Amino acid sequence: MRNQLLKGGMQNAIVLLSIFALWQIVVDGFDVPATYTPSPAVIAQTIWAQPGAFAAAVGTTLLEAILGIAAGTIIGIASGVLFSRVPLLERMFFPYLVASQAVPIIAFGAIVIIWFGNGIASKVFIALYLTFFPVAVNTLRGLRSVNPQQIGLLRTFGASSSTILLKLQFPAALPSIFTAIRLGASLGLVGAIVGEWFGAQVGLGVMLLLSMYNYQMPELWAAIVLTGVAGALLFLVVALLESRLAWWQEEI
Amino acid sequence: MRAISQPRSMPRRGRATVGLRRSAWRRVARLWPPVLGMILLLALWELAVYWFALPNFVLPLPQEILAAALDDLPALWHDAQTTMFEATVGFVAGSVIGFLLAAGMIMYAAVERVILPVYVTVNSVPMIAFGPLVTIWFGIGVLSKIVLIVIVVSYAVLLNTLAGLRSCDPGAIALLRSFGASDWRIMLTLRLPGALPSIFSGLKVAVVHAMILAVVVEMLGAHSGLGWSIYRATQMMNFVDAWAAVLAAVAISLTLYGLVGWANKRAIWWPQ
């Protein structure tokens, strides 16, 4: 699994490098004006010229996203377990959780900013609820996917329902929970960035917005590339966690 | 024979009507909990506003939002039309492009080797990060939103179509080939129908992405649109209007998703 991850990473790196090389050649060869698209070298120089500012932006946005994703995961798993225990609650609210997946709930971010202000809390909350919905849905589906005969077997051995939950249902649900966390991780990052558009001091979203207003193409591209890096980091963290916690799962 | 079958059919018909009534009851039994849940949520919402005396910029009442929406219905409808236009045009164009690319990749391996890595790389960056860039390149009109939606939708449809076309049973392909079927014939009669479920699950994901991107990219700047209206409303502290626009976006998204689901049911008529 870890080898697979490494191999995939190597392949991605090679593709990425060749794309950057091609991009550099095209920009240099055809003299594309930097106001249209800067070359990768110019983007790298831009980041290099003020590493502190870019690091602060990536750090702030990542912090917002990670806090929100973690909290959303915990609350999502807890609600999934609650739904699996109280069928009436599930039948009353689960359809709405499923429907939330078909809706741009990120638009509620505008309202969250009104509630929690311009600081980090509002972005954390946006990332939280964007992660919460898929995790809650997939937790319940994962818990339900357990073979009833296995539950019956454990029960005949006198296992309590909390033992069955911890030893059988939860491990069985982990792969599907991680699928949701991976989705939540990318949504959470997007949520943090969009939240920053509505008002913030530091962050990748702020950087994207300001460089658009000021027509600073190198800065804009630097922010785009760093957003990609932040997304890759989040993905890596989730993948490593998954290989630790759900190690019996073969494929990524 | 006829004499015997006559009385037999009587109870059968009776059972059928009982079954019908039972299924109607079952539908009611299935529907009341979500309805009750919604009523409960709305009641909690109202009670919270009254109990904590929340001002309407913190939480407007549902009826206030509805009143605001009805009050300025032409403006809301105008914004909704723009967003729907961007999402629908981007969705349709992106689906066609994604589908054609996938078909091309199945027929010619070279297409896949060149195009797929670029697609994967571009889409590994959260798409909204490109929002400011397309806004500069293509202006604040509908084009910038449509371009971004086309990229995202075509990617989702491409991957799912590819997986679906590949999932075909090799034995079935060999069988058709042994009867002299051409590649095109195999594509049309075997691979394509087999890929439909996977294609539709891609389309369902894609239609939601299309709405999300339309709304979010509009927030960066637009002439009209729900996302733009949300952004403007929050900047002008007009929170009831922001709620109305958000709920309109939710309603449109559910409708578009429902349409894709309906098309899915119509297109795949055979049992899975």
Cα–Cα nearest to A113, from B213, B211, B235: B235
Q: Is the pLDDT of residue A210 over 60?
A: yes
Instruction: A114-118: list long-range contacts, CB under 8 Å, 24+ apart.
Output: A114/B57, A114/B58, A114/B234, A114/B239, A114/B242, A115/B58, A118/A198, A118/A199, A118/A200, A118/A201
Q: Under a CB-based contact definition with an 8 Å cutoff, are residues A196 and A206 in contact?
A: yes
Rounded to an integer, what distance in angstroms lies between the CA atom of residue A233 and that of residue A241?
A: 12
Mean pLDDT of B145-169: 92
Contacts of A219 in chain B (CB under 8 A): none
Q: Is the pLDDT of residue B60 over 90?
A: no
- pTM here is 0.86
CB-neighbour burial class of residue B7 (10 A; exposed 0-12, middle 13-18, buried 19+) = exposed
Q: According to the model, what pLDDT value does residue A1 have?
A: 53
Mean pLDDT of B223-239: 90
Of the two residues A93 and A33, the one the predictor is more confident about is A93
CB-neighbour burial class of residue A7 (10 A; exposed 0-12, middle 13-18, buried 19+) = exposed
CA dihedral A205, A117, A235, A227 (to 10 degrees): 10
- Side-chain-side CA neighbours of A150 within 13 Å: the count stands at 12
Q: Cβ separation of A92 and B34 shorter than 8 Å?
A: yes
Q: According to the model, what pLDDT value does residue A5 have?
A: 62
Rounded to an integer, what distance in angstroms lies between the CA atom of residue B136 and that of residue A210?
A: 12
CB-neighbour burial class of residue A104 (10 A; exposed 0-12, middle 13-18, buried 19+) = buried
Cα–Cα nearest to B213, from A76, A226, A107, A124: A107
Give the amino acid at B87. A
Name the phi and psi angles at A50, rounded to 5: -140, 70
pLDDT band at A252 (very low <50, low <70, confident <90, very high): very low
Contacts of A193 in chain B (CB under 8 A): 126, 128-129
For a pLDDT cut of 90, what percent of chain A falls above it?
45
CB contacts under 8 A, A 190-219 vs B, are 190, 193-194, 197-198, 204, 208-209, 211-212, 215, 217
Tens digit of each residue's pLDDT (9 = 90 or more) over A139-195: 999 998 888 888 888 888 888 888 888 888 888 899 899 999 999 999 999 999 999
Tens digit of each residue's pLDDT (9 = 90 or more) over B255-267: 999 999 999 999 8
Chain B nearest-CA residue for A214: B136
Total Cβ atoms within 10 A of residue A158:
7
pLDDT band at A3 (very low <50, low <70, confident <90, very high): low
Q: According to the model, what pLDDT value does residue A2 have?
A: 58
For a pLDDT cut of 70, what percent of chain B falls above it?
92
Lowest mean pLDDT among A64-68, A110-114, B8-12, B122-126: B8-12
Q: Is the pLDDT of residue A10 over 60?
A: yes
Tens digit of each residue's pLDDT (9 = 90 or more) over B232-243: 998 888 888 899
Q: Give the ipTM.
A: 0.86
Give the amino acid at B270. W
Q: According to the model, what pLDDT value does residue B76 have?
A: 92
Of the two residues A10 and A232, the one the predictor is more confident about is A232
Rounded to an integer, what distance in angstroms lies between the CA atom of residue B185 and that of residue B191?
A: 9
When the pLDDT of each residue in chain A is averaged and rounded to a whole number, the result is 88
Q: Under a CB-based contact definition with an 8 Å cutoff, are residues B57 and B49 in contact?
A: no
Rounded to an integer, what distance in angstroms lies between the CA atom of residue B41 and that of residue B184?
A: 54
Rounded to an integer, what distance in angstroms lies between the CA atom of residue B121 and that of residue B114?
A: 12
Q: Which residues contact A173 (CB under 8 A, 6 or more apart)?
A: A80, A138, A139, A141, A142, A143, A145, A146
Mean pLDDT of A7-11: 72
Rounded to an integer, what distance in angstroms lies between the CA atom of residue B214 and that of residue B146?
A: 8
Q: Under a CB-based contact definition with an 8 Å cutoff, are residues A72 and A135 in contact?
A: yes
Rounded to an integer, what distance in angstroms lies between the CA atom of residue A225 and that of residue A205?
A: 12
Q: Cβ separation of A209 and B220 shorter than 8 Å?
A: yes
Q: According to the model, what pLDDT value does residue B3 have?
A: 43
For a pLDDT cut of 70, what percent of chain A falls above it?
95
Q: According to the model, what pLDDT value does residue B13 have?
A: 47
Tens digit of each residue's pLDDT (9 = 90 or more) over B172-221: 888 888 888 888 888 888 888 888 999 999 999 999 999 999 999 999 98
Mean pLDDT of A72-76: 96
Q: Is the pLDDT of residue B7 over 70?
A: no
Q: According to the model, what pLDDT value does residue A213 have?
A: 92
B242 → closest Cβ in A88, A105, A111 = A111
Cα–Cα nearest to B134, from B240, B217, B252: B217
Domains, chain A, with CATH or none: 2-17+41-46+56-245 (1.10.3720.10)
Question: How far is C-alpha B29 from the geometric centre of its chain's CA atoms?
Answer: 27
* C-alpha pair distances (Å), B155 with each of A148, B117, B118, B144, B238: 38, 11, 11, 17, 37
Beta strands in chain B (DSSP E): none
Q: According to the model, what pLDDT value does residue B8 have?
A: 45
**Residue in the structure block whose two tokens are 């090799």:** B170
Contacts of A105 in chain B (CB under 8 A): 250
CA dihedral A237, A241, A247, A250 (to 10 degrees): -30
Helix and strand element counts for chain B (H, E): 11, 0
Chain A nearest-CA residue for B136: A212
pLDDT band at B5 (very low <50, low <70, confident <90, very high): very low
